[in-house]
């Protein structure tokens, strides 16, 4: 029998291990059940994203949820892109300013949540002096693109 070493992922900082379960609980717990918990902080509750687009879930296949933490160095940019699925963001640390073109710019700081634009091209920049950590949750479907980079 062969033994193969499995590559290890980079360890997740402990502060994220605390924030991620809280965010998941906040997005998945029904608001009517909020009184069952000692503390629930509502991050987003709506039907439109930051540029007032109505949220529409893709119908390309079975539901697929993808969660990740994006870390950007000071001065780093995301590059111009759109999202093919509803996308939640939560700033864990630092700040990012997103340019939505004719829709203006918006700066998001640690502790702020937002529903990102889908069909409006945008570019995020870490314009702070510390790294920014963003918890991103893509609520899509198999066969859908979470991020569509402008070519």
What is the per-residue pLDDT across 101-116, written as a single tens digit (0 to 9) for each? 999 999 999 999 999 9
Mapped onto helix, strand or coil, the DSSP state of residue 32 is helix
Tell me the pLDDT of the chain averaged across its residues.
Answer: 85
Query: For the chain, what percent of residues have pLDDT higher than 70?
Result: 77
Tell me which of 92 and 41 has the higher pLDDT: 92
Domains and CATH numbers, the chain: 14-149 (2.60.120.10)
Tell me which of 49 and 17 has the higher pLDDT: 49
Residue 130 pLDDT grade (very low, low, confident, very high; cuts 50, 70, 90) = very high
**8 A C-beta contact, residue 122 and residue 101:** yes
Beta-strand pair 87-93/113-115: antiparallel
pTM recorded for the entire structure: 0.75
> Can you give the pLDDT at residue 33?
55
Tell whether the model's pLDDT for residue 126 goes beyond 90: yes
> Can you give the pLDDT at residue 35?
62
d(CA 103, CA 51): 7
d(CA 59, CA 69): 25
Output the CA torsion 107→113→117→122 (10° steps).
Answer: 30
In the predicted model, what is the mean pLDDT of residues 61-68?
95
Residue 16 pLDDT grade (very low, low, confident, very high; cuts 50, 70, 90) = low
**8 A C-beta contact, residue 43 and residue 29:** no
């Amino acid at each position: 029998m062969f033994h193969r070493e499995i590559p290890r992922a980079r360890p997740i900082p402990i502060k994220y291990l605390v924030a991620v379960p809280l965010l998941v609980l906040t997005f998945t717990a029904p608001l009517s059940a909020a009184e069952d918990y000692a503390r629930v902080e509502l991050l987003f509750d709506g039907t439109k994203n930051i540029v007032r687009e109505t949220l529409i879930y893709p119908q390309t296949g079975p539901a697929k949820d993808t969660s990740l933490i994006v870390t950007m160095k000071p001065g780093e940019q995301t590059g111009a892109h759109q999202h093919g699925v509803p996308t939640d963001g939560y700033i864990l640390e630092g700040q990012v300013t997103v340019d939505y073109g004719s829709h203006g710019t918006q700066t998001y700081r640690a502790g702020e949540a937002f529903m990102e634009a889908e069909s409006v091209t945008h570019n995020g920049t870490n314009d702070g002096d510390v790294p920014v950590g963003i918890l991103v949750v893509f609520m899509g479907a198999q066969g859908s693109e979470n991020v569509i980079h402008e070519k």
